[in-house]
Amino acid sequence: MTHLWWARRDLRLHDNPALIDAQADGPAAAVFAWTPALHFWSGRRRAHLARTLWSLRDSTGGALAVRRGEAADVVLAAAQEADAGVVLAAREFSPAGVAQQEAVAAALEAEGRELRFVGSPYAVAPGRVTKGDGTPYRVFTPFRDAWRQHGWRQPADAADPRGFVPLDSDVDLDQHAAHGDAEDPLLEPHEFREQRVLDALESWIDDALIHYDDERDRPDLDSTSRLSVPLAFGQVHPRTVLALTAPKRSDGSRVFESEIAWRDFHADTLWHEPQARRESLSRVMLEEDWVTGREADQAFVAWRDGRTGFPLVDAGMRQLAQTGWMHNRVRMVVASFLIKDLRIPWQRGADHFRRTLVDYDHAQNQLNWQWVAGTGRDASPFFRIFNPEAQLDRHDPQRRYVQRWVPELDTPDYPGPMVDHKAERETTLALHRRAKDRG
């Protein structure tokens, strides 16, 4: 009997345990559900997804079926067509992912078929790393230490690109990519071919990993891995990344490994506390002290459009608008500015990132915003307020980054600072103290 691979956030042939298991007894069928929820994605994310699926279909000789409909209906129909008694898939842990896989499992079970989970998008799946009493870690450093001690498996072998039973598709991926580009254009598409992603990773490890500890906070240098998009779409597994970086045994590789641990920590947090997707896990200001209404709307537009008068903030927001990506150090600076200089709630910034990031990942986005806001697990203290001018001096000393994205800098066309950072910092800290005094 044929097995069916339900492709989800694991769009690759290398190191894909669910696909390997599906092919264990011979050629497998494969399906991806193009669900109605995808139409709430930004055009740029849908375009990248369409290209990634096109590349994967091409790698499998056109065998991967991409079909329109709710996941439960699509997977069940594909299982019926392939006469598959077992469907293999990677387990998801986000609230939406869990609800989707429960619906698929119920539809299959009603016909005597089984949904079997193999692997996840994480080096160590949420819920696996716990304290001795079985409770989750709330602080990152001990989580990371226990995460390292827990360890992870070696990467799986590559699947057989010829080991598929073909199923028909009813989604025009070229059309979706073109529509996404027209709706939400970028300077250029992100890499969507699996082998090129792996080649770029190995090249980065050989050339830049050794400097990662020193240069990861420099947006003017091309020193980061650029793995956030491939990880978000499952074009590469973090276990593959760790297997390639660990043998380097440098400060850079250890720091980079910690970044992978943060990814798992945020997923673990959302798994244990699903309300963190919209709710602050702790309060840092009274509700009435956040800026709302017309004043907030005007300030938000200036932030969104990169017209705040603070070059590093503006450069980051323009890079995001034009490329769908932003350097991680700059993400922290722009988030801090929105929350602590403009006093606009983090949820509004998180929603904008959801609409504009190609590498959008729900757990990472929401919990990273909560980290900056000081409201999440082991978050940056609320009183830590980034000074955007000092951050510029420290991390873009020759102004190469800001000059690239803000070409009118140092001309009359560039606006002055929209706020007095020092004054806003003092006001925000006073409001924070008031919230603490009220418990």
The whole-angstrom separation of Cα 362 and Cα 347 is: 12
Residue whose C-alpha is closest to residue 369's, from 279, 298, 439: 279
The CA distance from 407 to 301, in Å, is 20
**Angle, CA of 17, 22 and 25, to the nearest 5°:** 120
- The answer to the question of whether 256 is labelled as a binding residue is yes
pLDDT of residue 252: 94
Residues 127 and 251 placed together within one structural domain of the fold: yes
Q: For residues 115 and 125, state if they share a domain.
A: no
- Report the percentage of the chain scoring pLDDT > 90: 97
Of 436, 363, 437, 421, nearest in space to 126 by CA: 363
Tokens of 203: 């090249």
pLDDT band at residue 438 under the 50/70/90 scheme:
confident
In a shared domain, residues 93 and 127 = no
Q: Residue 89 has what pLDDT?
A: 98
- Residue 304 and residue 239 share a domain: no
* Predicted confidence (pLDDT) per residue in 9-41, tens digit: 999 999 999 999 999 999 999 999 999 999 999
Question: Does 144 lie in the same domain as 87?
Answer: no
How many domains does the structure of the chain reveal?
3
Q: Is 227 annotated as a binding residue?
A: yes
- The letter for the amino acid at 434 is R
Helix (H) or strand (E) holding 207: helix 194-207
- Structure tokens, 87: 């469907």
Q: Which pLDDT score, from 0 to 100, does residue 75 have?
A: 98
Asked whether residue 379 carries a pLDDT value surpassing 90, the answer given is no
Nearest to 318 by CA among 233, 224, 396, 403: 403
146 with 214, same domain?
A: yes
Please give the pLDDT value at position 249.
85
Q: How confident is the model at residue 100 (pLDDT cuts 50, 70, 90)?
A: very high
Is residue 268 marked as binding? no
Instruction: Give the end of a domain, one of 272, 296, 317.
Output: 272
- Residue 157 annotated as binding? no
Model confidence, pTM: 0.96
**Structure token digits, residue 75:** 């997977």
Residue ranges of the alpha helices (H) in 168-292? 173-183, 194-207, 212-215, 228-233, 238-245, 251-272
The b/e string for 336-351 (b: 16+ C-beta within 10 A; e otherwise) is bbbbbbbbbbbbbbbe
| 327 and 429 housed in the same domain | yes
* 361 annotated as belonging to a binding site for a ligand: yes
pLDDT attached to residue 378: 87
| Statement to judge: residues 218 and 294 lie in one domain | no
Give the distance, in angstroms, between the CA of residue 264 and the centroid of all CA atoms in the same chain.
11
| 171: its two tokens | 């989604």
CATH number, residue 267? 1.25.40.80
Judge whether 49 is annotated as a binding position. Answer: no
Edge-to-edge strands, sheet with 4-7: 65-68, 29-34, 4-7, 86-89, 114-117
pLDDT value, residue 390: 98
Is 228 annotated to bind a ligand? Reply is yes
Domain containing residue 224: 121-153+193-272
Q: How confident is the model at residue 421 (pLDDT cuts 50, 70, 90)?
A: very high
In a domain, 181, yes or no: no
- Check whether 359 is labelled as a binding-site residue: yes
Identify whether residues 310 and 410 lie together within a single domain: yes
Question: Is 224 among the annotated ligand-binding positions?
Answer: yes
Take residue 293 and report the two structure tokens written for it.
């209404």
The 10 Å CB-count burial string (b at 16+, else e) for 200-232 is: bbeebbeebbeebeebbbbbbbebbbebbbbbb
| Mean pLDDT value across residues 177-190 | 96
Closest by CA to 271, choosing from 369, 348, 362, is: 362
Q: What is the CATH number of the domain that holds 342?
A: 1.10.579.10
Residue 411 labeled ligand binder: no
Question: What does the pLDDT look like over 40-96, one tens digit per residue?
Answer: 999 999 999 999 999 999 999 999 999 999 999 999 999 999 999 999 999 999 999
Length of the chain measured in residues: 439
